[in-house]
Structure 1
Amino acid sequence: MNNITKLPLNALGYDFIKKQYLPKGKDEYYLRNLQNRNGTTYRQLSAFEIEVLVRNRNTSDNWNNILVSDHFNPELVKNCKFYGLVRIGKLEPYFLGFSDLKVAVGLYDSTIISSDIGDNSVINNVHYLSHYIIGQEVILTNINEIQTTETCKFGNGIIKEGEQESVRIWLELCNENGGRKILPFNGMLPGDAWLWSKYRDDEKLLERFKQLTEAEFKTARGFYGKIGDRTVIKNSNIIKDVWIGSDAYIKGANKLKNLTINSGQEGRTQIGEGCELVNGSVGFGSRIFYGVKAVRFVTASHTQLKYGARLINSYMGSNATISCCEVLNSLIFPGHEQHHNNSFLCASTVMGQSNIPAGATIGSNHNSRGADGEIVAGRGFWPALCVSLKHNCKFASFTMLAKGDYNYELNIPLPFSLVSIHPITNSLIIMPGYWFMYNMYALKRNAWKYKDRDQRKEKVQNLEFDFLAPDTAGEIIETIQLLEKYTGQAYFKAEGAKESDEASLIEKGKALLNDPDSNVESLTILATGIENSKRNVEIIKVRRAYQCYKNMIRLYGYQHLFAAERLQEAKNLKGLLQGLPANLKRQTWLNVGGQLIPEKNVENLKDKVRNAKIQSWDQLHAFYSDQGAKYEQFKREDALAALGEALGYPLATLSKDQITSLAKDYLDIQKWMVDQIVVSRKKDYSNPYRKMMYENQQEMEAVVGKLADNSFIKDQKKALKKLTEQLSGLIG
């Protein structure tokens, strides 16, 4: 049976907070009074005002409980029912216009229960408005239900006084079995979600994260919902326990429940037709449209959810877009793109700058007796159309997967690779360094694009968008040694010799790959530990990839040794070495929600959280800001250390001739990179299967533009020219 309660009509709008939860000496409005900071002085209605209200078909259980400002106009209140304490601000004879909507200021055809209404707002045809604080010049029109309950949490993972633990909301990220669950809270950054979901063996750390979250919010019952100034809500059905910032726009929503919707100067948030959002937090400047279903979720700032997307038990980082698809139990770092109706992402940690295409099924097949599989994909993860992946899989940064069903677990440690399945031999084929060899235009342009599209105003976490950074440099250095090992193994196998120890394999492979006259191309180079299967895993184009990787490591170092500001300061090449840090040594880095931080610093952070030296999420976020401020210096030291490793001697001992040689090498690599950018883009203009769509060159250029007019390529050539002039001046 439905539990229908029957109480006296004169009780409607009162006793919002049950008496046992009221602090001594407080009434049910004490939290409401703290929340309402509009500064309005209220008074009771005059007899004339009551007469006008009654004449306009308004009713109240007690006119003494209708309080108004001195600029209240009773003629602008018609056909409304009031219950409980209602406070109304200034009402003046104006109409408010927003887009094509134009509505008269005032309260019309609505039921209003125990709420505060700001100056010159519109409440029109709101069937049930209960326990809300509404800002100035707000428009609420054609809404079935908008109410706040006594135990509202606004999407935060807390429980109120007297509630059972079972009602607490958790986000089950990264794994469907809940083993990595975290508590959602308003203001959660991707770094927070990653730290909390990652270190599951550290019980004290996890408990402290829970304590930080509970300390962030009051457990008292009786908070009111809020709607910020100039927010517009129209033609919507159910809005329950939702805190809404200023300047938001909500139209045609089906159901919004237990949410914080951030909106304001950081970014105006919009929620559109047919959306159903439950138990979550929406970041500043978000766009959520057209039938989206999101349950137990957090979206960071400037995200887009649209076209029927489903987001469940997931965190979505800033500047990300998900549309027409289903995402479950996933932690998504900033800069993610997923646009297609039949793509599926489940139980995954995707570390940013990623793109999931149509037909992709990422993590749907369980290969254990429980739903406990996971996928971890580094920055720049890009599977092709109709890729199917099985738990568990792990991918290095900028891995591209060609179309295919990958039926076995994968561990791809080679960054910037193209992975495919041979159609005849069924071997797994890996082309290391694919992006450098064949798609430098996209690689370089994406680094610029993600930075350009970062709309955050408050950049608490300093996100890394460059494809050459401490995380990828570390992977490249490890890959160089792997390629040497694989090549040595292939050589000894081809010679029929007994396989040597690992050091000997690496030494032999290194010699072969660095000898332009060696016949490396004739070797079948196989890898182990890549795929959980008995089929061959073949590495192709190894020599070329090897040279690309070595060039990229030197380039990574040169970009910091010959940084623009250093070139401007230095009077000569030797001057570039002044102030070089002593004892340069590479560190292990972690991708903490899109921000790269040395592992030792993350360990120090964890110690501070465990030992209560960090006592709030704001203090933890201050750690991100501090690391971000120091990042360029940390990154420079890492790059110079990597360059020293690549050269085989310390940078501080460089002679004038050596640094001149390095400067020339830097220019050569930069010229090669710009050439590769042009070549990779030029293919789109010379490919006959692209050109066949056009009758002539003029038609093609009218559709896709002229290659010579490409602004990105122009910028790259301009930067190269400037660098050439700067270095040439120092080289002489």
Structure 2
Amino acid sequence: MTYRKLTVSEIEKLQAQACTSQNWDIITVHPNFDTQYIHQVNFSGDIRLGYFESEFDLPGGLKKHSGLKNVCLHNCTIGNNVLINNVHNYIANYEIDDDTFIENLELMYVEGRTSFGNGVQASVLNETGGREVSINDKLSAHFAYIHSFYRHRPLLVQKMEEIVQRYVNEVTSDIGTIGKNVRITNTGTIKNVRIGDCAVIEGSRIIENGSINSNEYDPVHVGYNVMIKDFIICSGSRIEDGTMLARCFIGQACELGHTYSASDSLFFSNCQGENGEACAIFAGPYTVTHHKSTLLISGMFSFMNAGSGSNQSNHMYKLGPIHQGVMERGGKTTSDSYILWPARIGAFSLVMGRHYRNSDTSKMPFSYLIENNDETVLVPGVNLRSVGTIRDAQKFPKRDKRKDPNQLDQINFNLLSPYTVQKMFQGIEALKALQETGGESSQTYTYQSCRINGTSLKRGIKYYNIAITKFLGNSIISRLKNCACKSNEEIREALNPTTTDGLFQWRDLAGLLAPSTKIDDLIDDIEAGKLTQMEEVNKVFAELHKNYYELEWTWAWDKIQTYFEVSLETITAKDIIDIVEKWKDAVISLDKMIYDDAKKEFSLPTRISFGLDGNKRDQKIDFERVRGVFEKNAFVEAVLEHIKVKTQLGDNTIKKLEQTV
């Protein structure tokens, strides 16, 4: 678009409409520019103006025409059909795109060269430093995980910082940008902030040094009394109601509100924070905290739900707040729980009570950690039979609110995976070692500063074996889904992995599940300088996520051979039928445990406080009116349907295989 200078008559009209300029000659305008809607504007520096022809429809039916009124503009480019009205101080050094609405703004400017929050270092996990992550527009949970946790590889950290710095250099500017269709109303100061398309900012107090990466697919909303400094906010996120942030990364589709406060923290996709406080946390996808008395500090979490009053300590009052902790994916804390860092809690574990010892239960997933007389009691594997665990696994994919086609985090929602099942194998090995050392008749065992009761240990081995059988059975049935199974040779060909990638250990990179060997390859490429851009690294993460099931099968088949004592060269249809029968027993057994656990929610004690002024019959009716009947509960019906469907799947698989026997 070629802009033109103002005509003499246009300058006269603008002056008649109370407009002033230090130099009218350097103002350029769109060929269709009209002075009609420009009033009480002070121009200075380089100014470029579009045309003002359309109206804005406001809530309540009010219409306002685009234009400029009561504003001071310095070094600004204003797009087409923009409305700027009542800026109490001024707008300086900004390019404002088409159809943007700005009204009742205190001040908005860019001062000097800025990277708009890119490159700000958040001191995650350790308040005193040492694990800083440089936040940026393209940061994924997986990149941040490696950047913060792999300090034992200084060359890697250096190269990753160089990758971020390249991007920071690209976006550094002395001119800020406001995207298309942005709405900014009743807002205080905006300083050194870049705002993407379709963002809505209303009633915020101060927004300083950051990027609001809104877009037409998934707009960002920043609400009343919000105060944020040194930040990145990704698409689809909502920052509301007096939230205060400093040196924070807010990932896609996050929600922070109700006076939540956080500093030096990373929140990745679909995190929610209300009322409470966070300091130096690595909040992987789906970290949720809703309660005013909850403090999350110096820990790594993902798929986590923090109960009211949950707290951790990273300070032993010796060398400062230097300790950190990890709750692996799927962790939960009950009300008034407490964990003394350093500690590491196994995946999908529930923490109840207050724990003052530095426990490591990472090899015991799906466990309870219960406080008893200031001692941590570990109940291995018991969470596998919990209705809450299954409900969580089902709800996470449904609660993915990301609408942006460019998703930064590659999230694997699987409850059973090579990552969690490898932990079960390790758990069984550790529990059996305790049995051998302490004797099978022992009443209690000590493991990683925890006490395990003898009955809990035996049940833990049982639960882990059931879950392992379920996972491995699922894998082999899925693998043979499209195989006609007309001969053992055809079956063996279908079972043969197409790659050796996926063997050995797997890692959870804050939501992405991948083989350790593939992560090590990625790290080697970064160190060797083969990957030098954020997009290149994120593309590798996306490919690993895309190929998950092929990589999973490589790992599962290796374990199937040892667990069920078969081999690719000799396995037959009859062997697989035996595995499927064991799988059916495992699935049904686990579902029945879950069914029984759900039934507790409809027992007589749960009816207390129902039917307050009536008899027992009234209590029952009141309960059922509110909670429903057990047999008709949606989750219970889903469990029963799951038993039916999986039984049918097993029977059909067996029937298909029997033709080869």
**TM-score scaled by structure 1?**
0.84
The aligned runs of 1:11-26 (5 Å cut-off) are none
Partner of 1:409: 358
Partner of 2:652: 729
- Quote the Cα distance in structure 1 between the aligned partners of 2:637 and 2:297: 40
Which of 373, 387, 397 is equivalent to 2:323?
A: 373
Q: Are residues 1:608 and 2:570 paired?
A: no
The aligned runs of 1:201-280 (5 Å cut-off) are 201-218=152-169, 222-280=173-231
- How far did 1:268 drift? 0.9
Amino acid at match of 2:579: L
* Cα 1:459–1:239 shift into 2, 3 Å: closer
- Quote the Cα distance in structure 2 between the aligned partners of 1:196 and 1:42: 46
The aligned runs of 1:229-628 (5 Å cut-off) are 229-350=180-301, 352-366=302-316, 368-403=318-353, 405-413=354-362, 414-423=364-373, 426-437=374-385, 439=386, 441-456=387-402, 457-491=405-439, 520=441, 523-530=442-449, 538=453, 540-563=455-478, 566-571=480-485, 574=488, 576-581=491-496, 586-628=503-545
Secondary structure of 1:110 counterpart: strand
- How far did 1:570 drift? 3.0
* Cα 1:487–1:407 shift into 2, 3 Å: same
CA RMSD, 1 decimal: 2.2
Which of 699, 716, 725 is equivalent to 2:622?
A: 699
Partner of 1:178: 129
* Cα 1:656–1:254 shift into 2, 3 Å: same
Contact 1:366/1:391 (<8 A) preserved = no
Q: Are residues 1:147 and 2:109 paired?
A: yes
- How far did 1:134 drift? 0.7
Deviations 1:308-327 (A, max 9, x none): 11111111110110111111
Contact 1:150/1:221 (<8 A) preserved = no
Partner of 1:497: none
- Quote the Cα distance in structure 1 between the aligned partners of 2:56 and 2:400: 37
Secondary structure of 2:532 counterpart: coil
Contact 1:324/1:340 (<8 A) preserved = yes
Contact 1:189/1:593 (<8 A) preserved = no
- Quote the Cα distance in structure 2 between the aligned partners of 1:448 and 1:66: 59
- Quote the Cα distance in structure 1 between the aligned partners of 2:270 and 2:171: 35
Answer with 286-295 or 651-660: which moved more.
651-660
- Quote the Cα distance in structure 1 between the aligned partners of 2:61 and 2:569: 67
Contact 1:527/1:537 (<8 A) preserved = yes
* Cα 1:696–1:550 shift into 2, 3 Å: same
- How far did 1:220 drift? 8.9
* Cα 1:59–1:549 shift into 2, 3 Å: same
- How far did 1:418 drift? 0.6
Secondary structure of 1:334 counterpart: coil
Secondary structure of 1:140 counterpart: strand
- Quote the Cα distance in structure 1 between the aligned partners of 2:455 and 2:565: 27
- Quote the Cα distance in structure 1 between the aligned partners of 2:487 and 2:377: 44
Secondary structure of 1:641 counterpart: helix
* Cα 1:130–1:458 shift into 2, 3 Å: same
* Cα 1:716–1:462 shift into 2, 3 Å: farther
- Quote the Cα distance in structure 2 between the aligned partners of 1:98 and 1:569: 59
* Cα 1:671–1:174 shift into 2, 3 Å: same
The unaligned stretches of length 5 or more in structure 1 are 1-39, 158-168, 492-508, 510-519
Answer with 696-705 or 441-450: which moved more.
696-705
- How far did 1:644 drift? 2.7
- How far did 1:596 drift? 1.1
Contact 1:364/1:389 (<8 A) preserved = no
Contact 2:466/2:590 (<8 A) preserved = no
Secondary structure of 1:428 counterpart: strand
* Cα 1:270–1:58 shift into 2, 3 Å: same
* Cα 1:384–1:576 shift into 2, 3 Å: farther
Contact 2:139/2:408 (<8 A) preserved = no
Secondary structure of 2:181 counterpart: coil
The aligned runs of 1:95-106 (5 Å cut-off) are 95-97=56-58, 102-106=63-67
- How far did 1:455 drift? 2.8
- Quote the Cα distance in structure 2 between the aligned partners of 1:90 and 1:233: 20
The aligned runs of 1:36-75 (5 Å cut-off) are 40-75=1-36
- How far did 1:221 drift? 6.8
Which of 45, 48, 51 is equivalent to 1:87?
A: 48
Q: Percent identity?
A: 22
Contact 1:420/1:430 (<8 A) preserved = yes
Amino acid at match of 2:331: F
- How far did 1:655 drift? 3.4
- How far did 1:674 drift? 2.6
Contact 1:432/1:539 (<8 A) preserved = no
The aligned runs of 1:700-719 (5 Å cut-off) are 700-719=623-642
Q: Are residues 1:665 and 2:613 paired?
A: no
Contact 2:180/2:196 (<8 A) preserved = yes
Secondary structure of 1:567 counterpart: coil
- Quote the Cα distance in structure 2 between the aligned partners of 1:287 and 1:571: 52
- How far did 1:206 drift? 1.4
* Cα 1:652–1:480 shift into 2, 3 Å: farther
Partner of 1:512: none
Contact 1:274/1:291 (<8 A) preserved = yes
Amino acid at match of 1:552: A
Q: Are residues 1:156 and 2:156 paired?
A: no
Secondary structure of 1:578 counterpart: helix
- How far did 1:250 drift? 0.5
Contact 2:314/2:322 (<8 A) preserved = no
* Cα 1:222–1:192 shift into 2, 3 Å: closer
Amino acid at match of 1:688: P
Secondary structure of 2:335 counterpart: coil
Partner of 1:29: none
- Quote the Cα distance in structure 1 between the aligned partners of 2:180 and 2:59: 13
* Cα 1:577–1:691 shift into 2, 3 Å: farther
- Quote the Cα distance in structure 1 between the aligned partners of 2:83 and 2:553: 56
Deviations 1:609-665 (A, max 9, x none): 111111111111111112112211111222232233322343653333332222122
The aligned runs of 1:629-644 (5 Å cut-off) are 629-644=546-561
Amino acid at match of 1:115: C
Amino acid at match of 1:553: I
- Quote the Cα distance in structure 1 between the aligned partners of 2:600 and 2:30: 70
Secondary structure of 2:481 counterpart: helix
Contact 1:376/1:394 (<8 A) preserved = yes
Deviations 1:163-192 (A, max 9, x none): xxxxxx321111112011122211100111
- Quote the Cα distance in structure 2 between the aligned partners of 1:606 and 1:664: 42
- Quote the Cα distance in structure 1 between the aligned partners of 2:537 and 2:454: 43
- Quote the Cα distance in structure 1 between the aligned partners of 2:459 and 2:435: 13
- Quote the Cα distance in structure 2 between the aligned partners of 1:717 and 1:101: 54
- Quote the Cα distance in structure 2 between the aligned partners of 1:586 and 1:415: 20
Contact 1:118/1:136 (<8 A) preserved = yes
Contact 1:367/1:390 (<8 A) preserved = no
